[in-house]
Amino acid sequence: MRPQEDRKRVMIEGVRPEIDGGRYPIKRTVGEKVEVEADIFADSHDVLSAVLLYRMEGGSSQWTEAPMEFLVNDRWKGSFVVNEIGRYVCTLQAWVDHFQTWQRDLAKKVDAGQDVSMDLLAGAGIIKDAISQAPGADAKRLEEWAADLKSPQGLKDKVRLALDEELKALMARYPDRRFATTYEKKLMVVVDRTKARYSAWYEMFPRSCADEAGRHGTFKDCEARLPYIAQMGFDVLYLAPIHPIGRTHRKGRNNSPAAGPDDPGSPWAIGSKEGGHKAVHPRLGTLEEFRHLVIKAEEQGMEVAIDLAFQCTPDHPYVEKRPEWFHWKPDGTIQYAENPPKKYEDIYPLNFETEQWKDLWEELKSIVLFWLDQGVQIFRVDNPHTKPFVFWEWLINEIKKDYPGVIFLAEAFTRPKVMYRLAKLGFTQSYTYFAWRNTKWEITQYFTELYHGEVREFFRPNLWPNTPDILTEYLQMGGRAAFMVRLALAATLSANYGIYGPAFELCENRPKEFGSEEYLDSEKYEIRNWDIESPDSLKDLIGRVNRIRRENPALQSDWSLRFHPVDNEQIICYSKNTEDFSNIVLVIVNLDPHHTHSGWLELPISDWGLEPIRPYQVHDLLSDARYLWHGSRNYVEINPQVVPAHIFRLRRRIRTERDFDYYM
């Protein structure tokens, strides 16, 4: 049999956004809007009303309501703004609005010249039913209205009263929701701090920060490097792992199988007799010095992010203390990592199928808590796709319960569905395929998928033109111009981006060998000494790009991205804007690092509120040049040997006095 009450006539379905049937939350940052659409309909032809209900999880159990409005074809829309970090829940409610139905039908009958005296009485009845819900003053007002509709005064006056907008507004406050339908799911919204949406990352190896060649860098050296990074305008400083490095099977320079006595090993080979994931490498300094670095970075506008690489060397303390957390071979040794035929003898993967999985999970959580205690709030997670999804979902939720501002960046370069699942289950930001998307077609396809599909609700891209593992062919082949192209794209296509430096600003592009994306003399296996004051450095350009991002809110979020046609395959053109179009940024990049290209653009100027007959100004924020453009079709020519990109801010003319135009 049916439930007790089945006089609910309204259906709610096709709710968007709703990730995997409501299984996963959508993501927002503080101050952003949550827009919800749904199909809402009932039998027959009655008028409906609908609201969004939302509240913070763990806060008051009272719902706040936001009205929904009818769009077209049974589709409704409503929205609310999330103002606090944490989790919101949201659902929908809709009901047959007998009062509005009555008003609509009354108007139709009046128009058709029908006798409506009976209808006016019926209306008085509906108003009377609402009175019990209304407080004093409103109750009194409704009483009067009901009495008027039943009074002996002229029919015409009563009809006017019945159709009055004030009555409609008053009745809307006290709808009869006895048979209201509440949507059966509660949709979740994870609200992060602004940096989850808008951040500029700088990755570096602390051990390479020493001033002089040949010395192992320290946290103190990192502190000395802070002004250099701050000047470039970054706000996240991500350090390659800072833990003790194993000795057994340590890799030598250029990943040679046997390390020399002075080879420092890979920082991702974590664990030695000096400690594991909660220790710092003795040559970098002490935990106290690390905390000092965190504070100093903060003073210069940067947060320190560290790496979570959940794997161990054979020398890691866990191997002795918790041998059951590893895979064992029939000969009684522990199984090293392999991806046949490749072997990684210096790494023991953790066995998440162990009987002791609960202890293992708790220990890994304690690592995150340990670093939170040291002041770290941002974690770049190494290869999360090689550990179980359920583990990450648990870990991230556990941490965010007490530390809702923590940011986890997923470094999963793998199949799309795996990357998306990691984002759904909780990772705040994600690495992408950006590094390998070079052509106009590829870039257009990829960012359309990321920003204009359901994916955007849970997957926040963080674009990296290079990483210690990725020196793309485009960068290898394209020289300095290629680095500028990829910088301009990364910093403007996404509000979150990062570079691995100083390799990036110094245009380091020597591969280990042809066909490889590994660096020659990679910092992963040796200490490098970088000439950061080189005159060829891109540091000033990077600084300018990051300042443009700071000064133009259009570049601080992603969903407004639109691509615009250019009649040259080597030139890509796109724009971003704020919701009110007060800030419009137009980016035009020559993707060919070798040749000058030109082309005609086609811009949607009427969408931007520009009149086709009046000129407008485009102000190149990179070169400070200004151009006066007319209409939707305009010409560009870009020489990659100068700067391969324009980042235009669109400036409208605000008034004309004789020959002088002013642009805002």
- The catalytic residues are 382, 411
The residue (of 329 and 658) whose beta carbon lies closer to a second copy is 329
Please select the residue that binds a second copy; options are 61, 62, 111, 115, rule is CB under 8 A: 111
Encoding tokens for residue 634? 């305009």
Please select the residue that binds a second copy; options are 158, 387, 528, 597, rule is CB under 8 A: 387
Query: Nearest 10 degrees: CA dihedral of 31, 181, 105, 77?
Result: 20
Q: Count of residues binding a second copy (CB under 8 A)?
A: 55
CA 622/CA 486 separation, integer angstroms: 15
Please select the residue that binds a second copy; options are 65, 81, 108, 604, rule is CB under 8 A: 108
353 binds a second copy per the rule CB under 8 A: yes
* Contact positions with a second copy (CB under 8 A) in 394-413: 394
Phi, psi of 315, rounded to the nearest 5 degrees:
-95, 0
Q: How far is the CB of 370 from a second copy (least distance, A)?
A: 20
Q: How far is the CB of 450 from a second copy (least distance, A)?
A: 17
Angle, helix 165-172 to helix 117-131, in steps of 10 degrees: 40
118 binds a second copy per the rule CB under 8 A: yes
Q: How far is the CB of 43 from a second copy (least distance, A)?
A: 5
Please select the residue that binds a second copy; options are 31, 58, 67, 416, rule is CB under 8 A: 416
The β-bridge partners of 304 are: 237
352 binds a second copy per the rule CB under 8 A: yes
Using DSSP, state whether 196 is helix, strand or coil: helix
Please select the residue that binds a second copy; options are 20, 157, 262, 449, rule is CB under 8 A: 20
Q: Is the Cβ–Cβ distance between 644 and 654 less than 8 Å?
A: no
Encoding tokens for residue 415? 């199949």
Cis status, amide bond into 17, omega within 30 of 0: yes
* Contact positions with a second copy (CB under 8 A) in 157-196: 179
Dihedral sign for Cα atoms in the order 381, 385, 389, 391: negative
Please select the residue that binds a second copy; options are 157, 338, 359, 637, rule is CB under 8 A: 338
CB atoms within 10 A of CB 46: 17
Closest by CA position to 242, among listed 411, 408, 361, 367: 367
The residue (of 414 and 606) whose beta carbon lies closer to a second copy is 414
Q: Is the Cβ–Cβ distance between 609 and 577 less than 8 Å?
A: no
Q: Is the Cβ–Cβ distance between 288 and 385 less than 8 Å?
A: no
43 binds a second copy per the rule CB under 8 A: yes
Please select the residue that binds a second copy; options are 60, 61, 62, 112, rule is CB under 8 A: 112
How many residues make up the chain in this entry? 664
339 binds a second copy per the rule CB under 8 A: yes
73 binds a second copy per the rule CB under 8 A: yes
Q: How far is the CB of 393 from a second copy (least distance, A)?
A: 9
The residue (of 46 and 298) whose beta carbon lies closer to a second copy is 46
Q: Is the Cβ–Cβ distance between 541 and 642 less than 8 Å?
A: no
Q: How far apart are the first and last CA of the chain?
A: 67
Please select the residue that binds a second copy; options are 47, 56, 66, 122, rule is CB under 8 A: 122
Closest by CA position to 407, among listed 7, 15, 29, 129: 29
Site of interaction with a second copy (CB under 8 A): 2, 6-9, 11, 13-14, 20-22, 39, 41-45, 73-74, 104-105, 108-109, 111-112, 114, 118, 121-122, 125, 179, 329-331, 338-341, 352-353, 357, 361, 385-391, 394, 415-418, 421
